[in-house]
Amino acid sequence: MPSPIAANAEYSLHGESNRQQPLSPHKGAAAFPPRKETVKIGAARPAPPRRPGCYTPDMKILMVEDDLSIGRALLSVFQDNGHGVVWCRMAAHAMEQMTAEHFDAMLLDLGLPDGDGTDLLQAIRARRLSLPVLIITARDSLEDRLKGFDLGADDYLIKPFDIPELLVRLRAIVRRASGTVERSEQLWQIGELAVDEGCMQVTRAGAVVALSPTEYALLLTLVKQAGRVLTRADLERRVLPHSEGQTLDVHIYNLRRKIGERMIRTVRGVGYVIQRDSA
């Protein structure tokens, strides 16, 4: 089972032990926003050029999360996936940002220093703002989940969670809010292999291929970057940030067994690549 998200060995989405501690970011990383400030971060690198028949989701996300470790880990994930992020640690500042800018989705924690996240959600819906909201919280009772949906949340994800599930849920609520997307824009085709991002289905020569959520996320990452060698470190950061040992190799082995041995090529000492003309 995939491990919960973490930016590296020091930061995990499991706990909130760093909530009050002013941790120092790593070299090259965005600084942590003090509670009274907001940090705006663009994508870590330009999104790859769109190829005919392919769609690269590039969302602008308002992240409302007080926990330092969780916020920084998510910041790294969104940057690596080509999304822009505005990170607020207080509900009041999040409301200010919504008034000043347009966002595709909000990621909302419930335990905030200046109020409960459900109060912010209620205020958003009272103003008839149609911003898609995904709640992320450790509150796992049925009562809490029902309350979140009743107040207008589009989805509810319990901590700890996995990167692939978080990204898929975010894309889903954005799609629902914006209306249907042409299927051709969600279909990635390489030889006999087709990855339909809209319904999370993989087929080979027309036959459905059953993949685990992690295998699907790994394949989608490789397919979107077809022709480009992705290093082991890059793949682990995007899909398996908390993995240990040979976890990536195991998933690559299983993928090859299901989609064809020659689809994924190993570049010794570097990483893996799917060629655009793979057979």
pLDDT per position as a tens digit, 39-51 = 554 443 343 333 3
Give the CATH number of the domain where residue 122 resides: 3.40.50.2300
Residue 279 inside a domain? The answer is: no
Q: What are phi and psi of 132, to 5 degrees?
A: -65, 135
- Of 178, 213, 248, the domain-final residue: 178
Give the CATH number of the domain where residue 233 resides: 1.10.10.10
Residue 268 inside a domain? The answer is: yes
77-96 pLDDT, tens digit per residue, is 998 888 899 999 999 999 99
- Of 153, 178, 203, the domain-final residue: 178
Residue 23 inside a domain? The answer is: no
Beta bridge partners of 207: 204
Could you tell me if 174 and 190 lie in one domain? Answer: no
- CB contact set of 249 (below 8 Å; sequence gap of 6+): none
Q: What is the mean predicted confidence (pLDDT) over 25-33?
A: 38
* Tokens 């655009």 sit on residue: 276
Q: How far is CA 41 from CA 54, 63, 65, 234, in A?
A: 25, 11, 15, 19
Domain count along the chain: 2
Q: Which domain holds residue 80?
A: 38-178
Which pLDDT belongs to residue 178?
A: 67
96-130 pLDDT, tens digit per residue, is 998 888 899 999 999 999 999 999 999 988 888 88
Q: What are phi and psi of 175, to 5 degrees?
A: -60, -45
Residue 68 has pLDDT above 60, yes or no: yes
